[in-house]
């Protein structure tokens, strides 16, 4: 976090959040990772503080934070537990889709529910549509005053908790990606069913599952934006999603670095703390450089988003650098703990497992390279 970029009010809010995470999240993070469960009681407390609506506009009841302050907060939260943070913030990009595509009535209705504590799942990915979003096979067919939605979505974050989904489905197959539309779908509608929670390498407390829509009827008024404009809506939210994930990776990496430094100061070998050994100090120095480099890229991309300037290349660079650096930093944190780094009772083992997530979500790092390369070679 860079205090010189913030006002007194922002600093005191961030301090309050840090205090909450230190008192409420730190003591339970290992337990819920082990149990592979959502720590719902503490999530509810965080929601009471408004930590799930940080970037929702004030006029709709959210905190209305600018994006730079938002990502700084995300970073601070992920320093303690990125899985917990992902549960709180998984709905933020879905909310952005509503902000961009929704009518005033849709926004008022949708945000009121989110502010009151409803969970939202973003449903894009399918069996044959992962990196290639344009291959979406789910369909939405107009039938009088309704659309009938069919299809199965995979890897939906907060999928089994969600009260509402933002579902992307094809309304005109002949148009490919230009025939995709976005819908608000209530989770309790007939035909909506959830698969079992995925048991993943990392972020065990986080909730990810498949959601099937079998002849689900939604009012035509649940269409977001115009018909066939769903792909455009996802593309407009991509940059924010990527920078948010990059901020998560920076926070996780900082947490790993902090732990490695404190361990290296305590652990004695060859008659001295290992942090006095140049080989270890050099590793720590490289880790610090990697975290700080990524942080600057995240803040730069977030500032571009706040200013409304083009930022796709910067967002991809931030996501690529932050997640690759996070993986390296977490790997080195394990190395600095030696054999203890492999043991579950030390948090770096979990940091290492969680780190892999950020090289994959919100567009794999190969896709980020593709975006950067294409932008360079236009």
Ligand X SMILES: Cc1cc2nc3c(=O)[nH]c(=O)nc-3n(C[C@H](O)[C@H](O)[C@H](O)COP(=O)(O)OP(=O)(O)OC[C@H]3O[C@@H](n4cnc5c(N)ncnc54)[C@H](O)[C@@H]3O)c2cc1C
Q: Is the Cβ–Cβ distance between 131 and 370 less than 8 Å?
A: no
Residues in the chain: 378
Please select the residue that binds ligand X; options are 177, 212, 335, 364, rule is CB under 6 A.
364
How would DSSP label each residue in 127-194? TTBSS-GGG---EEEEETTEEEEEEEEEEEETTTT-SEEEEEEES-GGGGGGGEEEEEEETTSTTEEE
Helix intervals (H) in the chain: 8-20, 29-35, 40-48, 67-80, 82-89, 92-101, 104-116, 230-266, 278-307, 312-336, 347-355, 365-376
87 binds ligand X (CB under 6 A): no
Per rule CB under 6 A, is residue 372 in the interface with ligand X?
Answer: no
Query: Quick check: helix, strand or coil at residue 356?
Result: helix
Kindly state whether residue 320 participates in binding ligand X, applying the rule CB under 6 A.
Answer: no
- Residue span 205-234 as binding mask against ligand X, x where in contact by CB under 6 A, dash where not: ---x--------------------------
Pick 262 or 366: Cβ nearer ligand X: 366
CB of 197 to ligand X, least distance (A): 11
Q: Which is nearer to ligand X, 12 or 366 (CB)?
A: 366
Nearer to ligand X, 154 or 334 (CB): 154
CB of 275 to ligand X, least distance (A): 34
- With contact defined as beta carbons under 8 Å apart, do 128 and 135 qualify? yes
CA 135 to chain centre: 23
Of the two residues 13 and 32, which places its CB atom closer to ligand X in the complex?
A: 32
Q: Is 244 exposed, middle or buried (0-12, 13-18, 19+ CB in 10 A)?
A: buried
What value does the CA radius of gyration of the chain take, rounded to a whole number of Å? Answer: 21
Comparing every residue's Cβ against ligand X, the nearest one is 130
Of 28 and 370, CB closest to ligand X: 370
| Residue span 155-174 as binding mask against ligand X, x where in contact by CB under 6 A, dash where not | xxx-----------------
| Span of 119-127, 174-182, 255-263, 311-319 interacting with ligand X by CB under 6 A | 119-127
* Cβ proximity of 181 and 169 under 8 Å: yes
Give the range of 69-77, 172-180, 273-281, 363-371 binding ligand X by CB under 6 A.
Answer: 363-371
* Residue placing its CB nearer to ligand X in the complex, 68 or 78: 78
Residue 201 or 289 with smaller CB distance to ligand X: 201
Alpha-carbon span 355 to 368, nearest angstrom? 17
Question: Which residue reads 């069996």 in tokens?
Answer: 127
Contact pick of 361, 368, 371, 372 for ligand X (by CB under 6 A): 361
Burial (CB count <10 Å: 0-12, 13-18, 19+), residue 279: exposed
Pairing, β 164-170 against β 120-123: parallel
User: How many residues sit close enough to ligand X to count as binding (CB under 6 A)?
Assistant: 19
231 neighbors 133 (Cβ within 8 angstroms): yes
Minimum gap (Å) between residue 12 Cβ and ligand X: 32
Active site residue 24: no
Should residue 360 be labelled a site residue for ligand X when binding is judged by CB under 6 A?
yes
Stretch that binds ligand X, among 38-46, 116-124, 290-298, 323-331 (CB under 6 A): 116-124
Is 134 a binding residue for ligand X by CB under 6 A? The answer is no
| Binding segment toward ligand X, per CB under 6 A, in 137-145, 150-158, 187-195, 209-217 | 150-158
Active site residues: 362
Residues that bind ligand X (CB under 6 A): 122-125, 130-131, 155-157, 203, 208, 357, 360-361, 363-364, 366-367, 370
């Amino acid at each position: 976090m860079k205090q010189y970029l913030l006002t007194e009010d922002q600093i005191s809010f961030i301090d309050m959040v840090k205090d909450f995470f230190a008192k409420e999240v730190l003591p339970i993070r290992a337990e819920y990772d082990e149990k592979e469960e959502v720590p719902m009681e503490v999530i509810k407390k965080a929601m009471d503080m408004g930590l799930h609506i940080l970037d929702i506009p004030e006029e709709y009841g959210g905190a209305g934070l600018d994006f730079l302050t938002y990502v700084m907060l995300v970073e601070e939260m992920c320093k303690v537990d990125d899985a917990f943070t992902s549960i709180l913030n998984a709905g933020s990009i879905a909310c952005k889709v509503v902000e961009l595509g929704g009518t005033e009535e849709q926004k008022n209705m949708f945000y009121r529910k989110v502010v009151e504590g409803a969970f939202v799942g973003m449903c894009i990915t399918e069996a044959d549509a992962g990196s290639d979003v344009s291959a979406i096979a789910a369909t939405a067919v107009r039938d009088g005053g309704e659309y009938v939605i069919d299809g199965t979505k995979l890897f939906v974050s907060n999928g089994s908790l969600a009260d509402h989904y933002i579902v992307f489905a094809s309304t005109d197959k002949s148009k490919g990606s230009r025939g995709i539309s976005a819908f608000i779908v209530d989770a309790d509608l007939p035909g909506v069913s959830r698969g079992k929670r995925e048991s993943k390498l990392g972020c065990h407390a986080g909730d990810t599952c498949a959601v099937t829509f079998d002849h689900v009827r939604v009012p035509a008024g649940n269409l977001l934006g115009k018909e066939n404009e769903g792909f455009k809506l996802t593309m407009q939210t991509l940059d924010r999603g990527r920078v948010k994930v990059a901020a998560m990776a920076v926070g996780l990496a900082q947490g790993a670095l902090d732990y490695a430094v404190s361990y290296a100061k305590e652990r004695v070998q060859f008659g001295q703390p290992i942090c006095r050994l140049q080989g270890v100090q050099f590793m720590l120095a490289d880790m610090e450089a990697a975290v700080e480099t990524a942080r600057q890229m995240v803040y730069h991309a977030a500032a571009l988003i706040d200013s409304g300037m083009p930022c796709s290349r910067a967002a991809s660079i931030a996501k690529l650098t932050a997640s690759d650096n996070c993986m390296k930093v977490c790997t080195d944190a394990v190395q600095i703990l030696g054999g203890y780094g492999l043991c579950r009772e030390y948090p770096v083992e979990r940091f290492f497992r969680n780190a892999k997530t950020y090289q994959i979500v919100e567009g794999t790092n190969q896709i980020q390279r593709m975006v950067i390369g294409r932008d360079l070679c236009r």
